[in-house]
Amino acid sequence: MSHLLHLDASARRASFSRELSEAFAGAWRAANPGGGYSYRDLAADPVPHIGQAWTEICDNVMAYGITDIGRYREAVRTPAQEEAWAIIEPLLAELVAADVVLIGTPMYNYSLPSALKAWIDQVTFPRMKLTGRRFVVTGARGGAYGPGTPKEPFDHEERYLRDFFLGHFGVEDVTFVHAELTNSLVDPLLAGARGEHEESLAAARKLAVELAAEPVRQ
């Protein structure tokens, strides 16, 4: 049975990235009435940053040659590592159970929110593979960072996430949906770009719904 893990990372309670992730999730759940669904708000309920014990668990995973995610528990040896594992285990279980991972996230300061980075760090271990899964990222940016724009080289959000999901997790099925120029709604200097923003948002909404009906590429 298909299972969707839905994450939101925006610090705004009403945000474009949340709107787009909800559009995808709603369409996906309608198309998969028997599918499983898990939701986690990384901004409202932040995941702790990793600590010393997490690094020790990673070292043990490598030292003991553990490559099966289901055996990571064997790398936990000390009371401090047990405390770290209590944080890791439910997050990792949600991720492993999902065949579709949906991440609603804005771009903050050319990169991703620290709340999302903290989650990524907690669920990531050496030689960990999540092949066969699909990742969809619905995002919002204050400016324009698309292909050919002056600020394209400053997009360290999509580039990081795409490279990480492929390079570490081995996931090739990764799609990004962006609503751009959101700052045109509040910044007088960008007021002339509001039309472009509305076009970008409408296209992103449409794409998010369309993507929800697509199967995972094996």
Distance CA 131, CA 66 (A): 17
User: Which tokens in the block code for residue 91?
Assistant: 């997050």
Q: What is the pTM of this model?
A: 0.95
111 labelled binding-site residue? no
CATH for 3-48+98-212 is: 3.40.50.360
Q: What average pLDDT does range 80-103 have in this prediction?
A: 97
Q: What average pLDDT does range 76-83 have in this prediction?
A: 98
pLDDT digit string (tens) for 160-184?
Answer: 999 999 999 999 999 999 999 999 9
Q: What average pLDDT does range 182-196 have in this prediction?
A: 93
What lies within 8 Å, CB to CB, of 70 at 6+ separation is: none
What lies within 8 Å, CB to CB, of 144 at 6+ separation is: 151, 180, 181, 193, 196
DSSP β-bridge partners for residue 135: 101, 174
Cα angle value 109/115/117 (rounded, 5°): 75
200 labelled binding-site residue? no
Distance CA 29, CA 37 (A): 8
24 labelled binding-site residue? no
Of residues 163, 162, 197, the one with CA closest to residue 176: 162
pLDDT band of 68, cuts 50, 70, 90: very high
Q: What are phi and psi of 138, to 5 degrees?
A: -105, 125
pLDDT digit string (tens) for 130-144?
Answer: 999 999 999 999 999
Give me the helix-helix angle, 52-63 and 79-97, nearest 10°: 70
Sketch the domain layout of the chain as residue ranges.
3-48+98-212
16 labelled binding-site residue? yes
